[in-house]
Protein backbone atom coordinates (compact mmCIF):
# COMPACT_ATOMS: atom_id res chain seq x y z
CA UNK A 1 0.00 0.00 0.00
CA UNK A 2 1.42 3.34 -1.03
CA UNK A 3 1.05 6.10 1.56
CA UNK A 4 1.04 9.59 0.04
CA UNK A 5 1.68 12.62 2.24
CA UNK A 6 1.88 15.12 -0.65
CA UNK A 7 -1.06 16.24 -2.80
CA UNK A 8 0.96 16.24 -6.00
CA UNK A 9 2.09 12.66 -5.66
CA UNK A 10 -1.35 11.34 -4.78
CA UNK A 11 -2.81 13.27 -7.72
CA UNK A 12 -0.19 11.91 -10.12
CA UNK A 13 -0.84 8.35 -8.94
CA UNK A 14 -4.58 8.58 -9.62
CA UNK A 15 -3.99 10.12 -13.06
CA UNK A 16 -1.53 7.35 -13.86
CA UNK A 17 -4.07 4.66 -12.90
CA UNK A 18 -6.78 6.34 -14.97
CA UNK A 19 -4.42 6.65 -17.92
CA UNK A 20 -3.83 2.93 -17.68
CA UNK A 21 -7.58 2.51 -18.13
CA UNK A 22 -8.32 1.54 -14.53
CA UNK A 23 -11.42 2.50 -12.61
CA UNK A 24 -10.60 4.12 -9.26
CA UNK A 25 -12.60 4.01 -6.05
CA UNK A 26 -12.15 6.82 -3.54
CA UNK A 27 -12.93 6.32 0.16
CA UNK A 28 -12.64 9.65 2.02
CA UNK A 29 -12.37 9.30 5.81
CA UNK A 30 -11.37 11.26 8.89
CA UNK A 31 -9.45 8.27 10.24
CA UNK A 32 -10.29 6.46 13.50
CA UNK A 33 -11.33 3.70 11.16
CA UNK A 34 -13.79 0.97 12.10
CA UNK A 35 -15.58 -1.84 10.30
CA UNK A 36 -17.92 0.70 8.67
CA UNK A 37 -15.01 2.38 6.90
CA UNK A 38 -13.53 -1.01 6.07
CA UNK A 39 -16.79 -2.00 4.38
CA UNK A 40 -16.45 1.08 2.11
CA UNK A 41 -13.01 -0.12 1.05
CA UNK A 42 -14.42 -3.61 0.39
CA UNK A 43 -17.26 -2.17 -1.70
CA UNK A 44 -14.72 -0.15 -3.66
CA UNK A 45 -12.52 -3.18 -4.25
CA UNK A 46 -15.52 -5.14 -5.53
CA UNK A 47 -16.43 -2.43 -8.00
CA UNK A 48 -13.17 -0.71 -8.98
CA UNK A 49 -9.76 -1.73 -10.29
CA UNK A 50 -7.90 0.29 -7.66
CA UNK A 51 -8.86 1.90 -4.36
CA UNK A 52 -7.46 4.97 -2.66
CA UNK A 53 -8.54 5.98 0.83
CA UNK A 54 -7.91 9.35 2.46
CA UNK A 55 -7.38 10.14 6.13
CA UNK A 56 -7.83 13.77 7.08
CA UNK A 57 -9.59 15.32 10.06
CA UNK A 58 -11.13 18.22 8.17
CA UNK A 59 -11.13 21.27 10.44
CA UNK A 60 -13.66 23.26 8.37
CA UNK A 61 -16.51 20.87 9.13
CA UNK A 62 -16.23 21.33 12.91
CA UNK A 63 -17.98 24.22 14.60
CA UNK A 64 -16.72 26.16 17.62
CA UNK A 65 -17.12 24.00 20.74
CA UNK A 66 -17.29 20.78 18.75
CA UNK A 67 -14.85 17.89 19.15
CA UNK A 68 -12.14 18.83 16.61
CA UNK A 69 -9.39 19.00 19.25
CA UNK A 70 -10.25 15.65 20.80
CA UNK A 71 -11.31 13.84 17.62
CA UNK A 72 -9.69 10.39 17.82
CA UNK A 73 -6.44 10.02 15.87
CA UNK A 74 -5.27 6.44 15.39
CA UNK A 75 -3.12 6.74 12.29
CA UNK A 76 -0.89 3.70 12.76
CA UNK A 77 -3.84 1.39 13.42
CA UNK A 78 -5.75 2.96 10.52
CA UNK A 79 -2.90 2.30 8.09
CA UNK A 80 -2.50 -1.24 9.40
CA UNK A 81 -6.20 -1.91 8.84
CA UNK A 82 -6.17 -0.51 5.32
CA UNK A 83 -3.02 -2.48 4.51
CA UNK A 84 -4.62 -5.69 5.74
CA UNK A 85 -7.61 -5.07 3.49
CA UNK A 86 -5.33 -4.72 0.47
CA UNK A 87 -6.06 -1.03 -0.13
CA UNK A 88 -3.86 0.17 -3.00
CA UNK A 89 -3.09 3.65 -1.74
CA UNK A 90 -3.92 6.10 1.01
CA UNK A 91 -3.55 9.86 1.06
CA UNK A 92 -2.76 11.36 4.46
CA UNK A 93 -2.15 15.11 4.08
CA UNK A 94 0.98 16.05 5.98
CA UNK A 95 -0.88 18.69 8.03
CA UNK A 96 -4.11 20.72 8.02
CA UNK A 97 -2.27 23.51 6.19
CA UNK A 98 -1.47 21.05 3.40
CA UNK A 99 -5.18 21.19 2.57
CA UNK A 100 -6.01 24.76 3.62
CA UNK A 101 -3.64 27.68 3.32
CA UNK A 102 -3.90 30.00 6.34
CA UNK A 103 -5.88 32.53 4.27
CA UNK A 104 -8.18 29.96 2.64
CA UNK A 105 -11.46 31.63 1.70
CA UNK A 106 -13.11 29.67 -1.14
CA UNK A 107 -15.92 27.36 -0.04
CA UNK A 108 -18.83 25.45 -1.41
CA UNK A 109 -22.23 26.88 -0.47
CA UNK A 110 -23.88 23.49 -0.12
CA UNK A 111 -27.22 22.55 -1.73
CA UNK A 112 -30.52 23.26 -0.02
CA UNK A 113 -30.66 19.70 1.35
CA UNK A 114 -27.86 20.80 3.72
CA UNK A 115 -30.02 23.37 5.45
CA UNK A 116 -32.23 21.11 7.59
CA UNK A 117 -31.40 18.76 10.55
CA UNK A 118 -27.59 18.61 10.88
CA UNK A 119 -27.44 21.93 9.03
CA UNK A 120 -29.46 23.59 11.79
CA UNK A 121 -27.56 22.09 14.72
CA UNK A 122 -24.15 22.43 13.05
CA UNK A 123 -24.44 25.58 10.91
CA UNK A 124 -21.17 25.40 8.91
CA UNK A 125 -20.76 21.64 8.98
CA UNK A 126 -21.88 20.87 5.42
CA UNK A 127 -20.03 23.84 3.99
CA UNK A 128 -16.87 22.22 5.34
CA UNK A 129 -17.87 18.74 4.21
CA UNK A 130 -18.78 19.84 0.68
CA UNK A 131 -15.59 21.87 0.37
CA UNK A 132 -13.21 19.11 1.44
CA UNK A 133 -15.03 16.50 -0.63
CA UNK A 134 -14.87 18.74 -3.72
CA UNK A 135 -11.15 19.31 -3.13
CA UNK A 136 -10.57 15.57 -2.79
CA UNK A 137 -12.57 14.91 -5.97
CA UNK A 138 -10.27 17.34 -7.79
CA UNK A 139 -7.07 15.99 -6.24
CA UNK A 140 -7.99 12.33 -6.65
CA UNK A 141 -10.20 12.17 -9.74
CA UNK A 142 -11.75 8.78 -9.09
CA UNK A 143 -14.49 7.11 -11.09
CA UNK A 144 -16.53 6.28 -7.96
CA UNK A 145 -16.57 7.58 -4.39
CA UNK A 146 -17.88 5.59 -1.44
CA UNK A 147 -19.71 7.05 1.55
CA UNK A 148 -21.54 5.47 4.46
CA UNK A 149 -25.31 5.68 4.86
CA UNK A 150 -24.75 6.42 8.56
CA UNK A 151 -24.10 10.03 7.55
CA UNK A 152 -27.30 10.06 5.55
CA UNK A 153 -27.67 13.78 5.06
CA UNK A 154 -24.00 14.08 4.12
CA UNK A 155 -24.50 11.63 1.27
CA UNK A 156 -27.57 13.60 0.09
CA UNK A 157 -25.50 16.81 0.15
CA UNK A 158 -22.71 15.20 -1.84
CA UNK A 159 -25.07 13.68 -4.40
CA UNK A 160 -26.72 17.07 -4.97
CA UNK A 161 -23.36 18.83 -5.25
CA UNK A 162 -22.14 16.28 -7.80
CA UNK A 163 -25.30 16.80 -9.86
CA UNK A 164 -25.34 20.60 -9.65
CA UNK A 165 -21.60 21.06 -10.18
CA UNK A 166 -21.56 18.62 -13.14
CA UNK A 167 -18.96 16.41 -11.50
CA UNK A 168 -18.13 13.23 -13.38
CA UNK A 169 -18.01 10.80 -10.48
CA UNK A 170 -20.36 8.07 -9.27
CA UNK A 171 -21.47 8.27 -5.65
CA UNK A 172 -22.12 5.01 -3.83
CA UNK A 173 -23.78 5.06 -0.44
CA UNK A 174 -23.04 1.84 1.45
CA UNK A 175 -25.20 0.27 4.20
CA UNK A 176 -24.72 1.12 7.86
CA UNK A 177 -22.51 -1.32 9.72
CA UNK A 178 -23.66 -2.00 13.29
CA UNK A 179 -22.04 -3.56 16.32
CA UNK A 180 -23.74 -6.75 17.55
CA UNK A 181 -25.67 -4.69 20.12
CA UNK A 182 -27.19 -2.61 17.30
CA UNK A 183 -25.24 0.63 17.73
CA UNK A 184 -24.21 2.08 14.37
CA UNK A 185 -20.44 2.10 14.10
CA UNK A 186 -18.95 5.55 14.56
CA UNK A 187 -15.54 6.90 15.45
CA UNK A 188 -17.29 8.80 18.23
CA UNK A 189 -18.56 5.62 19.93
CA UNK A 190 -15.21 5.35 21.67
CA UNK A 191 -16.11 8.44 23.71
CA UNK A 192 -18.94 6.47 25.40
CA UNK A 193 -18.60 4.93 28.87
CA UNK A 194 -20.27 1.53 29.34
CA UNK A 195 -23.40 2.99 31.01
CA UNK A 196 -23.58 5.68 28.28
CA UNK A 197 -23.38 3.05 25.58
CA UNK A 198 -26.27 1.23 27.18
CA UNK A 199 -28.35 4.44 27.03
CA UNK A 200 -27.22 5.07 23.41
CA UNK A 201 -28.77 1.76 22.34
CA UNK A 202 -32.12 3.54 22.56
CA UNK A 203 -31.20 5.17 19.24
CA UNK A 204 -31.17 2.02 17.07
CA UNK A 205 -34.11 0.66 19.07
CA UNK A 206 -36.11 3.81 18.34
CA UNK A 207 -35.34 3.53 14.63
CA UNK A 208 -36.21 -0.15 14.66
CA UNK A 209 -39.58 0.52 16.27
CA UNK A 210 -40.40 3.26 13.78
CA UNK A 211 -39.48 0.88 10.96
CA UNK A 212 -41.59 -1.92 12.39
CA UNK A 213 -44.62 0.33 12.70
CA UNK A 214 -44.02 1.63 9.16
CA UNK A 215 -43.79 -1.87 7.70
CA UNK A 216 -46.92 -2.79 9.65
CA UNK A 217 -48.71 -0.08 7.68
CA UNK A 218 -48.45 3.09 9.80
CA UNK A 219 -47.99 6.08 7.47
CA UNK A 220 -48.53 9.02 9.85
CA UNK A 221 -45.10 10.51 10.50
CA UNK A 222 -46.13 11.98 13.84
CA UNK A 223 -47.03 8.53 15.16
CA UNK A 224 -43.66 7.13 14.15
CA UNK A 225 -41.86 10.15 15.57
CA UNK A 226 -43.69 9.80 18.90
CA UNK A 227 -42.57 6.20 19.13
CA UNK A 228 -38.98 7.29 18.55
CA UNK A 229 -39.12 10.03 21.19
CA UNK A 230 -40.67 7.61 23.71
CA UNK A 231 -37.94 5.04 23.15
CA UNK A 232 -35.21 7.69 23.35
CA UNK A 233 -36.67 8.90 26.67
CA UNK A 234 -36.63 5.34 27.90
CA UNK A 235 -32.87 5.04 27.15
CA UNK A 236 -32.59 7.60 28.48
CA UNK A 237 -30.51 9.73 26.13
CA UNK A 238 -29.55 13.13 27.49
CA UNK A 239 -30.99 15.17 24.66
CA UNK A 240 -32.61 14.77 21.26
CA UNK A 241 -31.62 17.20 18.53
CA UNK A 242 -34.17 15.65 16.19
CA UNK A 243 -36.02 12.39 15.62
CA UNK A 244 -37.99 12.77 12.40
CA UNK A 245 -39.42 11.16 9.32
CA UNK A 246 -38.12 12.91 6.22
CA UNK A 247 -38.34 12.52 2.47
CA UNK A 248 -35.48 10.19 1.52
CA UNK A 249 -34.27 12.56 -1.19
CA UNK A 250 -35.11 16.14 -0.20
CA UNK A 251 -34.97 15.45 3.58
CA UNK A 252 -38.07 17.61 3.98
CA UNK A 253 -40.28 16.50 6.82
CA UNK A 254 -43.11 14.15 5.86
CA UNK A 255 -46.62 14.39 7.30
CA UNK A 256 -48.00 11.26 5.66
CA UNK A 257 -45.41 8.96 4.12
CA UNK A 258 -46.19 8.56 0.45
CA UNK A 259 -42.69 8.43 -0.99
CA UNK A 260 -39.47 6.73 0.11
CA UNK A 261 -38.63 8.18 3.51
CA UNK A 262 -35.93 8.01 6.12
CA UNK A 263 -36.11 8.09 9.89
CA UNK A 264 -33.34 10.33 11.19
CA UNK A 265 -32.11 10.67 14.76
CA UNK A 266 -29.49 12.89 16.35
CA UNK A 267 -29.19 12.51 20.11
CA UNK A 268 -26.73 13.29 22.86
CA UNK A 269 -25.50 10.82 25.45
CA UNK A 270 -23.25 12.39 28.03
CA UNK A 271 -21.01 14.71 26.04
CA UNK A 272 -21.21 12.55 22.91
CA UNK A 273 -23.47 13.37 19.99
CA UNK A 274 -24.61 10.42 17.88
CA UNK A 275 -26.55 10.20 14.61
CA UNK A 276 -28.27 7.22 13.02
CA UNK A 277 -31.01 6.54 10.49
CA UNK A 278 -33.21 3.91 8.91
CA UNK A 279 -34.67 3.90 5.40
CA UNK A 280 -38.43 3.48 5.24
CA UNK A 281 -39.21 2.18 1.82
CA UNK A 282 -40.69 -1.20 0.97
CA UNK A 283 -37.40 -2.65 -0.28
CA UNK A 284 -35.53 -1.72 2.92
CA UNK A 285 -37.34 -3.98 5.32
CA UNK A 286 -34.79 -5.41 7.71
Give whichever of 77 and 98 is closer to its own copies, judged by the CB atom. 98
DSSP H or E run through 36: helix 35-47
Query: What letters, b where the CB count within 10 A reaches 16 and e where it falls short, cover 75-109?
Result: eeebbebbeebebbbbbbbeeeeebbeeeeeeebe
Shortest distance, CB of residue 148 to its own copies, whole angstroms? 21
Q: Is 268 in the site for its own copies (CB under 8 A)?
A: no
For residues 140 and 135, what is the distance between their CA atoms, to the nearest angstrom? 8
Compose the 83-122 pattern: x for residues touching its own copies by CB under 8 A, - for all others.
-----------------xx-xxxxxxxxxx----------
| Mode of pairing for the β-strands spanning 2-4 and 144-148 | unpaired
The interface with its own copies within residues 119-148 (CB under 8 A) comprises 127, 130, 134-135, 138-139, 141
Contact between 215 and its own copies by CB under 8 A: the answer reads no
Asked whether the beta carbons of 205 and 231 are under 8 A apart, the reply is yes
Alpha carbon distance 129, 158 (integer Å): 9
Answer yes or no whether residue 259 interacts with its own copies by CB under 8 A: no
Length of the chain: 286
Q: Is 34 a catalytic residue?
A: no
Q: Quick one: DSSP state of residue 235?
A: T
d(CA 114, CA 231) in angstroms, rounded, equals 27
**Which region, judged by CB under 8 A, interacts with its own copies, from 29-37, 159-167, 200-208, 224-232?**
159-167
Binders in 161-180 for its own copies, by CB under 8 A: 161, 163-168
Catalytic residue among 37, 43, 125, 278: 37
Q: What are the residues binding its own copies (CB under 8 A)? A: 7, 11, 100-101, 103-112, 127, 130, 134-135, 138-139, 141, 160-161, 163-168
Q: What residues are labeled active site? A: 37
Amino acid sequence: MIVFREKKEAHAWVLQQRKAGKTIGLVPTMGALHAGHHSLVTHSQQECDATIATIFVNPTQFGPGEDLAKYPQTLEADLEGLRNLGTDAVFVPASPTAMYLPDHSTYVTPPIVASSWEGVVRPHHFRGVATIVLKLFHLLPATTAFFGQKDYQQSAVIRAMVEEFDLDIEIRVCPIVRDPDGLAMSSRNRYLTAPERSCALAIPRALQQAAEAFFAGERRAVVLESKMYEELARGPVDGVDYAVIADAQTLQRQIVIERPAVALIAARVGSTRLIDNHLLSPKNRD
